[in-house]
């Protein structure tokens, strides 16, 4: 059994959880928003008292894998609707910048035109000149949107220019070295 799924997940104050009759669909509602997800039927979600527990319905490797995955996703759903999640992106480069207007993020990153990204309604963005903070209650959607923005201009390994996560470390490569008098070409 998964170590994550062994322990029941406590439902915090202000969060309501509804589980379908067959135990594969869960709906979580809280102050930040509302999420609904359907999981594989090899795991059954059960609400006992003020906690959520998980049981395998089959004894297969897939069921074992889905047990921990389901527990982790449900834990993130509850944390998301209660507190929310945050991703911060940094942009490095001369003249590179972020701008936010409504639900659109404008990125100036060295192309001949600014790149405009339309954000889903579940994601809020704030920008300073070189940093962009994305917040949402849906962790999966937030990670996907942040990855798509990073993909517009990934950091390059020589000078480190591009879009990166705030906590990301870029390993820089050594550039070309001059031929310093080795007699090459003589």
Query: What percent of the chain is predicted at pLDDT more than 70?
Result: 94
40-53: b or e for each residue (b if 16 or more CB lie within 10 Å)?
Answer: eebbbbebeeeebb
Which residues of the chain form CATH 3.90.930.12?
3-82, 85-165
41-91, pLDDT tens digit by residue?
999 999 998 999 999 999 999 999 999 999 999 999 999 999 999 999 999
> Tell me, what's the pLDDT at 174?
87
What are the backbone angles phi and psi of residue 4, rounded to the nearest 5°?
-70, -35
Closest CA to 86 of 28, 133, 152, 130: 133
Average pLDDT of 152-168? 93
Mean predicted lDDT score pLDDT of the chain? 91
* pTM of the entire predicted model: 0.86
- Look at the domain 3-82 and name its fold: Outer Surface Protein A; domain 3 (3.90.930)
Alpha-helical (H) ranges within the chain are 3-6, 61-82, 139-152
Question: DSSP labels for 93-107?
Answer: STT-EEEEETTEEEE
Nearest Cα to Cα of residue 106 among 125, 86, 85? 125
The predicted pLDDT at position 92 comes to 94
pLDDT-derived band at 180, boundaries 50, 70, 90? low
182 band by pLDDT with thresholds 50, 70 and 90: low
Give the strands of the sheet with 162-165, arranged side by side.
124-127, 131-136, 85-92, 162-165
Taking residues 100-108, report their average pLDDT: 95
Residue 178 has pLDDT above 70, yes or no: no
Q: How many CB atoms lie within 10 A of CB 174?
A: 7
Helix (H, G, I), strand (E, B) or coil at 80: helix
CATH 3.90.930.12 fits 85-165, yes or no: yes
Cβ proximity of 119 and 125 under 8 Å: yes
């Amino acid at each position: 059994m998964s170590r994550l799924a062994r322990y029941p997940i406590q439902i915090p104050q202000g969060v309501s959880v509804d589980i379908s009759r067959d135990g594969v669909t869960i709906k979580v509602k809280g102050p930040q928003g509302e999420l609904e997800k359907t999981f594989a039927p090899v795991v059954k979600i059960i609400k006992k008292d003020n906690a959520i527990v998980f049981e395998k319905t089959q004894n297969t490797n897939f069921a074992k894998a889905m047990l921990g995955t389901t527990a982790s996703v449900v834990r993130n759903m509850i944390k998301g609707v209660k507190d929310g999640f945050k991703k911060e992106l940094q942009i490095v480069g001369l003249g590179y910048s972020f701008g936010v207007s409504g639900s659109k993020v404008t990125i100036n990153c060295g192309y001949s035109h600014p790149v405009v990204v339309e954000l889903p309604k579940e994601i809020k963005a704030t920008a300073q000149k070189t940093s962009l903070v994305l917040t949402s209650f849906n962790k999966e959607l937030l990670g996907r949107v942040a990855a798509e923005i990073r993909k517009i201009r990934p950091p390059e390994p020589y000078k480190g220019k591009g879009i990166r996560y705030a906590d990301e470390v870029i390993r820089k490569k050594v550039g070309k070295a001059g031929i310093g008098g080795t007699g090459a070409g003589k």
